[in-house]
Every structure is written in structure tokens, then in C-alpha cells.
Structure 1
């Protein structure tokens, strides 16, 4: 991965319908979820992120908040902040350094935004694992075995059609789990929220990638 674990969940766009169409039921569930997110005025959501090792022991845990408006987003997680205006991304360490880069639509990293709205990958094997209880459980396996992960499981709430939880298993069988809480689809944000203001941080070290 290109970034540290704290900033691992950073990029992503609205492409759930781009998944391979080998399971009509699972695809329909994903399409409905993506459509609901796309139609939102603005999204405000809290999330928790947990990393577990091969023995299912918790290695790290953090909480954060994400605000989204179209392809723009702002993430506050563990004191660090991520700003994206759809063109550039600012990764602020919360102290004295910010890294600036252009949005890379082909980035393989995962983010709360990407999991909530979909992935920009077309080569997944998709299946409906379970429809028991209050959520659909949808499994996504990359057809390209060179990917750094081997399985993604999405839990989509039947009542809201929104992703409530996701688990990403890497090739070492470590797992990163993310849960979403208090999702609001009618939030209103000024575009300035999604741009890092260096003037508010005099003397900050700006690193351009």
C-alpha cells in the first residue's frame, strides 16, 4: 500500500455498477446501494476501523468521521485529516506536515468512502453469501490474483440499502474491518470544507507528490 495504515482508507469513487455481472441478485443489491448514495445531497457518517491479525486479535482500532459531497470528501481519523476536492488530496498528519497529491482513480487503496459507495474495479467475482437477518452479505473476490487482498465482504442493511459494515482480508489473512454509524444522506457542506487551508497552519511543511 502507498500510505500508512492510518491513511490507508483514503481514495475511491462511485462505481458499484461496474462490477462483473455474474450474479443478478448480488449485483442488484449493490446497484441499489450505489444509487442511493449517489442521490444523496451530502453524506455525514461516523465510522470505526479495526485491524486484526491472522489469529483474529485486534492490532489497532480507531474511530473517525467522514463528510462527502459528490466526489469530494473530508475524513477526520485519529487526529489526522484528509481533504479531497475531487482533484487533489491533502493528507494532514494533524501536526506539522501535509502531503499533497492528485487524485488517482486507479489507486488500489481502500477508504471509508470507497467501501460506502463502491470500487473502481471491474474484475470481481461477486456472490450473495447470505440474506439472513437484517443485512445482505455480499462477497467480492478479485479475479486478478495479484491484488494485495483476497476477499471483501460487504454487509448491506436491508432497510436502508446502505453498507453498514465491511471486512477486507489480505493475503496474510489479516483483516481490516470498518463499521458505519449514524449515516445522514441530507447533509449540507460548503465546498471549502474539502480543501486544506495552509494559512490556518503557519510554518507547516507541505510535501507535493
Structure 2
């Protein structure tokens, strides 16, 4: 009986140690990804976006692009632009000739473009997941499980290109079984950017007849 008990304790300890090692390895890889991203002056990403929920018979696909520089970003997606200068967010919808201006809240937990490459650094448990070969590229997945049990997110899989240490894919699964996928089609760094790329010109939009909403 004691032999079985000691064997069980030994196997449990080995399993716990292996899990801790995998979590440490996963966290270290994501820190390497973060360090690589922070080394660039700016990043431009073309991406494919997918949303799927088989229970609701929902499947949507679209594409877009985003330019990131520090806390500044410019996102082109679904015919609209979302821009941030680090203090405010400007949502520009040409179809409605409308601009919404909102201050950035420090308490905002949403994954905004400026957090795309950093959100995973806290608030999650980490696990080393599968390795895939995508066109000759080794994509290592890390599974993130939110520590906060009240979040609507069940898990996130981050696929890292092991050659470049850039994020290749994000797969987010909600507790309602909705799966959101973002796949990076191109990842460009240190591009020449206009000095006014992240500057909002209210007069220009007002002259063009846009309605500006300030929240």
C-alpha cells in the first residue's frame, strides 16, 4: 500500500514539475517575441480575420492591416479606420461621414491594436502546445488561459514563427464557443512613415462634411 502511495506521489510530483517546466518555456518564448517586437521602430501587419460559431451557424471572413509604433496605431478594417495617438482613439467611418473621438482609459482591458503584441505578458497561465509546419515554417503554439474566471475568453492559442520570433496566428475561443482567428499574411518592420500618420486633423474632416462625436 505504501509503495503504491509513494509511486502516486512520485508520479504526481513528476507531472507537476513537467507542467511547471512547460509553463516556464512557454512564458520565455513569449518574452522573446515581446523583446523582438519592442526592438522595432514600427510594425506593419496585413492580416486575415475569421469569426466562427457552429452553434449559431456563423462564419465570417475579412482582411485588414494595422501600423503600430509605440502606443500609436492606425487600423484599416471593414471599410473604417481606427487611429490612436496614444491619448485618444479616433474611429473614422467614411460610409457614415462620421468620426468618434474617445479618450483612452487606463482601465480598459480590451485587446486594442497597441496591445496586440503585449497583452499576453500578464493575466494568463501558460502551456507549451503543438508545433506545426506551415509552408516550411515552424509555428510553435503557446496556450494562454485567463487567470480571471469571470472573463468571456476560455483560451487563446498564439502561434509563433520560430524562425523570426514573430506572432503568426492568434486563435481565441470564447466560453460561448465562438472562435476568433487572426492570421498574419505579412509582417514588415521599420517602414518609412509620414510624420502625421497618427495625427488627427479635425478641420480636414469638418471641411469634408464629417460629423464629429466627442465622447
Task: Mark yes or no: TM-score above 0.5.
Answer: yes
Task: Give the TM-score normalised by the residue count of structure 1.
Answer: 0.82
- Alignment partner of 1:197 is 2:201: yes
Unaligned runs of 5+ in 2: 1-20
| Distance 1:29-1:57 versus aligned 2 partners, 3 A rule | farther
Give 1:43-192 correspondences, 5 Å limit. 43-55=43-55, 59-95=59-95, 96-115=97-116, 117-119=117-119, 122-133=122-133, 134-192=138-196
Structure 1 residues 159 and 57: CA distance shift in structure 2, 3 A: farther
Aligned equivalent of 1:7: none
Q: Scaled by the length of structure 2, what TM-score is found?
A: 0.80
From the two aligned structures, give the one with the greater helix fraction.
2
How many residue pairs get aligned? The number is 188
Residue 160 of structure 2 aligns to a residue whose secondary structure is: strand
Report deviation, 1:132.
4.8
Q: Is the 8 A contact 1:155 1:165 kept in 2?
A: yes
Q: After superposition, what is the alpha-carbon deviation per residue over 1:59-81, rounded to whole angstroms, capped at 9, x for unaligned?
A: 22211111111111101112100
